């Protein structure tokens, strides 16, 4: 249950009863300071201004009509017309006890679920996945999990780069290797060096370059032999990516691949349509669209080329075709793109043009959820020591190795257990470090801080979960059994309960705005609230009454379940012991 919305609904009906027109919002938010209650409704001020009334008088009128029943113990008006709501302790205690036995914490699915297409990861298949693909992959996957949890029908679209001129060169190289008896899998084991070989052949060997060019044409005209080589290359490259997704605990699989090549047949049709609609016009042999909507300061329209003068199509053309497919075939109501901020203009052009051409109905929302770069400690884009791009496979392997060093000797774990913990901690650290930063800014990738057990880090969050579990182990109580009702007396108990109660609000917010750091921050506050609670409110000490012990255990259990749910929604595993 989303308590904030529940309160807002009650305030709205009180506003209505007080004669406030429905265009005025309740504006309910959590209070920053417990002195002012747990929630504040700030809508009276704006409404009073609009209605030319005294804001405190209007606030009073709203409160007179407000029924929050047993949810609130006190409602007061403060300052110029804030309505402060203090939650009732026994209501809160009852609510937490109720949700604490359910793994979903009774968080309801949406009453109006949507079909949402999420475009994320989308590496270029000519090369191996590198750090540049990390952010899209893990941010996109976290949002996918959140949306699915809330009941949306999510369709993942991995818009891989599997077409274009470079494939001519790569196929020519592959053919060369295979003609020498080498297996395709072996030749493409290291895509990075394969690409380099192909490129140097292309640059130094005229005959090879000609073959490569010829293969591009053959590929485009559907030559069976060339297509077969291309498919071989494509499928091996995809299987490399699949290994990365597995290691990263990302939910993408081969069924979600719908790359650039998928739209080939639609491209000429699409260009024709844009011509018919008089949106596209010829310019020096190319087909271009001029968008006055995106004009620059000088008033010059933004120019999008949709077909080159040699007949070739572009990145934008494919993206337009993809939008059409997503709207018409996938029936998307929302389309989310997780692509870095350097492609903002590209997406603006594509969205504007797609709307103009009526490929997208008004109600369908097109959303670019952009993000910044991953930087090294020197604040320049993250590179290897030698200055090259960092392969994702190497980065993840290093993460697990480093995690294994950090946890070495912490407890007596078997070899097998150690491996699992190192995996979860290493991968969790990399993911959490990224997800916990506001995605729109660049961030510094720093091994030491992300693997620290202190602060807002993956290991700290996983450890907080294990810590709660250890209380149950010490008490020799099965966390999965119902233990007790809850009573809330100490302020630390209340604080913890409130943080648990707010989780659905946060999850719904993330589903709306696709900023996962909000969830990280909330989980961090929750974990910290547990540590404070545990210090102030002993559970296992001998002078604690049996009822109090049981109540506090039940509250701790709700906390553990919240941490687990929240981290799982971010794609991070928790462990009972670490
Ligand atoms: N392959 C592209 C790249 O590596 C990303 C594709 C993102 N998705 C899209 N629909 N344009 O930059």
Confidence of residue 483 (pLDDT cuts 50, 70, 90): confident
Average pLDDT, the chain: 96
Q: How far is the CA of 273 from the centre of ligand 1 (A)?
A: 24
Q: Whose CA is nearest to atom 4 of ligand 1?
A: 123
- H or E stretch including 75? strand 72-78
In this structure, what CATH number is given to the domain that contains residue 75? 3.30.1360.70
Can you tell me the distance from the alpha carbon of 267 to that of 84, in angstroms, rounded to the nearest whole number? Answer: 58
Are 435 and 560 within one domain?
yes
CA distance 476 to 465: 17
Residue nearest to atom 8 of ligand 1 (CA): 159
Domain match, 249 and 273 both: no
- Give me ligand 1 centre to Cα 159, in Å: 6
User: 473 alpha carbon to ligand 1 midpoint, in Å?
Assistant: 48
Ligand 1 closest atom vs CA 340: 12
Asked if the structure places residue 480 within a domain, the reply is yes
Give the per-residue pLDDT at 385.
84
414 within some domain = no
Is residue 242 domain-shared with residue 293, that is, in the same domain? no
Residues in contact with ligand 1 by the CB-under-6-Å rule are 119, 122-124, 159, 161, 319, 322, 337, 339
Domain check: are 527 and 458 in the same one? yes
**Among candidate residues 97, 94, 91, the one with its CA nearest the CA of residue 555:** 97
Q: Which of 167, 262, 339, 368 to mutate to test the pocket of ligand 1 (most atoms within 8 A of CB)?
A: 339
CATH number at residue 476: 1.10.730.10
Supply the pLDDT for residue 133: 95
Residues 443 and 542 occupy one common structural domain: yes
Q: Both 213 and 292 in a single domain?
A: no
Separation of 123 CA from ligand 1 center, angstroms? 7
Measure 279 CA to ligand 1 centroid, in angstroms.
Answer: 24
Q: What is the pLDDT of residue 410?
A: 78
Do 151 and 171 sit in the same domain of this protein?
A: no
| Domain-embedded: residue 59 | yes
Spacing, Cα 343 to ligand 1 middle (Å) = 9
pLDDT attached to residue 150 = 98
pLDDT of 69 above 80: yes
**pLDDT given at position 1:** 84
Q: 265 C-alpha to center of ligand 1: Å?
A: 19
Ligand 1 centre from 132 Cα, in Å?
11
Minimum mean pLDDT range among 105-114, 188-197, 403-412 = 403-412
- Which whole number is the average pLDDT over 258-281? 97
Say what the pLDDT of residue 277 is: 97
Q: Give the percent of the chain with pLDDT over 70.
A: 100
Segment 21-57, tens digit of pLDDT: 999 999 999 999 888 999 999 999 999 999 999 999 9
Residues 135 and 271 in one domain: yes
- The answer to the question of residue 466 being in a domain is yes
Q: Quote the ligand 1 centre to 302 CA distance (angstroms).
A: 21
Q: Each residue of 310-361: pLDDT tens digit?
A: 999 999 999 999 999 999 999 999 999 999 999 999 999 999 999 999 999 9
- What gap in Å lies between CA 486 and CA 483, rounded to an integer? 9
This prediction has a pTM of 0.96
Return the structure tokens found at 254.
């081969």
Query: How many angstroms separate the alpha carbon of residue 39 from the centre of ligand 1?
Result: 42
pLDDT in tens, 139-184: 999 999 999 999 999 999 999 999 999 999 999 999 999 999 999 9
Which atom of ligand 1 is nearest the CA belonging to 133? 4
Span 234-263, average pLDDT: 97
CA-closest residue to ligand 1 atom 6: 122
Pairing relationship of beta strands 302-307 and 286-291 according to DSSP bridges: antiparallel
Q: Which of 343, 349, 371 to mutate to test the pocket of ligand 1 (most atoms within 8 A of CB)?
A: 343
Q: What is the pLDDT, as a whole number, of residue 122?
A: 98
> Do residues 496 and 557 share a domain?
yes
* Cross-strand pairs, 77: 83
For residue 186, the enclosing domain spans: 166-254
**Contact call for residues 307 and 343 (beta carbons, < 8 A):** no
Does the pLDDT value for residue 384 go beyond 90?
Answer: no
Judgement on whether residues 283 and 148 belong to the same structural domain of the protein: yes
Q: Best mutation site among 117, 118, 121, 122 for ligand 1, i.e. most ligand atoms within 8 A of its Cβ? A: 122
Single residue among 368, 390, 413 that ends a domain in this structure: 368
Residue ending a domain, choose from 368, 392, 415? 368
pLDDT of residue 495: 96
Residue 409 has pLDDT above 80, yes or no: no
In a domain, 93, yes or no: no
What is the predicted pLDDT for the residue at 236?
A: 96
pLDDT tens figures, 98-130: 999 999 999 999 999 999 999 999 999 999 999
Q: Please check whether residue 504 lies inside any domain of the structure.
A: yes
Q: Which atom of ligand 1 lies closest to the CA of 347?
A: 11
Q: How far is the CA of 287 from the centre of ligand 1 (A)?
A: 22
CA atoms within 13 A on the CB side of 475: 24
Nearest CA to ligand 1 atom 3: 123
* CB neighbour burial string for 344-370, b if at least 16 within 10 angstroms, e if fewer: eebbbbbbbbbbebebbeeebebbbbb
Check residue 546 and give its pLDDT: 95
Our mutation pick for probing the ligand 1 site, out of 130, 136, 159, 349, counting the most ligand atoms within 8 A of Cβ, is 159
Which atom of ligand 1 lies at the shortest distance from residue 343's CA? 12
CA of 394 to the centre of ligand 1 (A): 22
Q: Strand locations in 352-402, DSSP E? A: 365-368, 374-375
Rounded average pLDDT over 280-307: 96
What number is the average pLDDT over the span 468-480?
95
Residue 291 sits in a domain of what CATH number? Answer: 3.40.50.620
Q: Do both 31 and 62 map to the same domain?
A: yes
Q: Give the distance from CA 509 to its chain's centroid.
A: 12
Decide: helix, strand or coil at residue 156: strand
Residue 393 located in a structural domain? no
Give distance in angstroms: CA of 161 to centre of ligand 1.
Answer: 7
In a domain, 83, yes or no: yes
Opening angle at CA 82, ends 79 and 87, nearest 5: 120
Among candidate residues 368, 389, 413, the one where a domain is terminated: 368
Residue 198 sits in the same domain as residue 240: yes
How many domains does the chain fold into?
A: 4
Question: Which ligand 1 atom is nearest residue 160's CA?
Answer: 1
């Amino acid at each position: 249950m989303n308590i904030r919305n529940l309160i807002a609904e009650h305030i709205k009906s009180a506003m209505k009863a007080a004669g406030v027109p429905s265009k005025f919002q309740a504006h309910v938010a959590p209070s920053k300071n417990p002195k002012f209650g747990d929630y504040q409704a700030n809508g009276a001020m704006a409404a009073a201004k609009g209605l030319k009334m005294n804001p405190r008088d209007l606030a009073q009128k709203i409160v007179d009509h407000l029924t929050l029943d047993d949810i609130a113990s006190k409602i007061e008006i403060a300052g110029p017309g804030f309505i402060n709501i203090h939650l009732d302790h026994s209501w809160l205690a009852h609510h937490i006890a109720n949700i604490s036995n359910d793994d979903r914490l009774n968080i309801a699915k949406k009453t109006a679920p949507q079909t949402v297409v999420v475009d994320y990861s989308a590496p270029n298949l000519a090369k191996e996945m590198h750090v540049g693909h990390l952010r899209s992959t893990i941010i996109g996957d976290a949002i996918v999990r959140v949306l699915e949890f809330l009941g949306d029908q999510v369709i993942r679209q991995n818009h891989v780069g599997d077409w274009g001129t470079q494939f001519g060169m790569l196929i020519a190289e592959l053919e060369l290797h295979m003609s020498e008896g080498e297996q395709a899998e072996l030749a493409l084991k290291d895509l990075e060096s394969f690409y380099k070989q192909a490129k140097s052949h292309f640059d130094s060997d005229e005959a090879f370059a000609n073959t490569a060019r010829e293969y591009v044409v053959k590929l485009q005209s559907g030559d069976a032999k060339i297509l077969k080589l291309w498919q071989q290359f494509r499928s091996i490259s995809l299987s490399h990516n699949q290994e990365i997704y597995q290691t990263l605990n990302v939910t993408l699989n081969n069924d979600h691949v719908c790359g650039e090549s998928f739209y080939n047949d639609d491209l000429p049709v699409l260009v024709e349509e844009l011509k018919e609609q008089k949106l596209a016009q010829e310019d020096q042999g190319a087909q271009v669209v001029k968008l006055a909507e995106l004009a620059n300061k000088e008033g010059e329209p933004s120019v999008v080329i949709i077909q080159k003068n040699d007949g070739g199509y572009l990145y934008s053309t494919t993206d337009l075709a993809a939008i059409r497919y997503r709207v018409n075939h996938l029936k998307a109501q929302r389309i989310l793109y997780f692509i870095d901020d350097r492609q903002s203009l590209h997406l603006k052009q594509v969205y504007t043009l797609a709307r103009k051409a009526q490929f997208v109905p008004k109600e369908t929302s097109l959303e670019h959820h952009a993000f910044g770069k991953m930087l090294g400690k020197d604040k320049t884009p993250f590179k290897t020591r030698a200055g090259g791009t960092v392969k994702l496979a190497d980065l993840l392997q290093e993460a697990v190795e480093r995690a294994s060093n950090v946890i070495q000797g912490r407890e007596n774990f078997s070899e097998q257990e150690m491996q699992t913990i190192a995996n979860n901690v290493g991968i969790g650290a990399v993911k959490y470090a990224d997800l916990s930063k506001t995605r729109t800014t660049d961030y510094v990738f720093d091994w030491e801080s992300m693997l620290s057990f202190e602060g807002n880090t993956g290991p700290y969050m996983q450890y907080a979960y294990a810590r709660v579990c250890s209380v149950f182990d010490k008490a020799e109580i099965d966390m999965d059994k119902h233990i007790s009702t809850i009573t809330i007396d100490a302020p630390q108990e209340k604080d913890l309960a409130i943080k648990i109660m707010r989780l659905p609000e946060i999850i719904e917010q993330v589903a709306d705005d696709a900023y996962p750091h909000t969830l990280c921050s909330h989980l961090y506050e929750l974990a910290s609230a547990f540590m404070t609670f545990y210090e102030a409110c002993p559970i296992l000490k001998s002078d604690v009454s049996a009822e109090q012990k049981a109540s506090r255990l039940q509250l701790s259990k709700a906390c553990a379940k919240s941490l687990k749910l929240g981290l799982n929604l971010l794609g991070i595993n928790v462990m009972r012991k670490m």
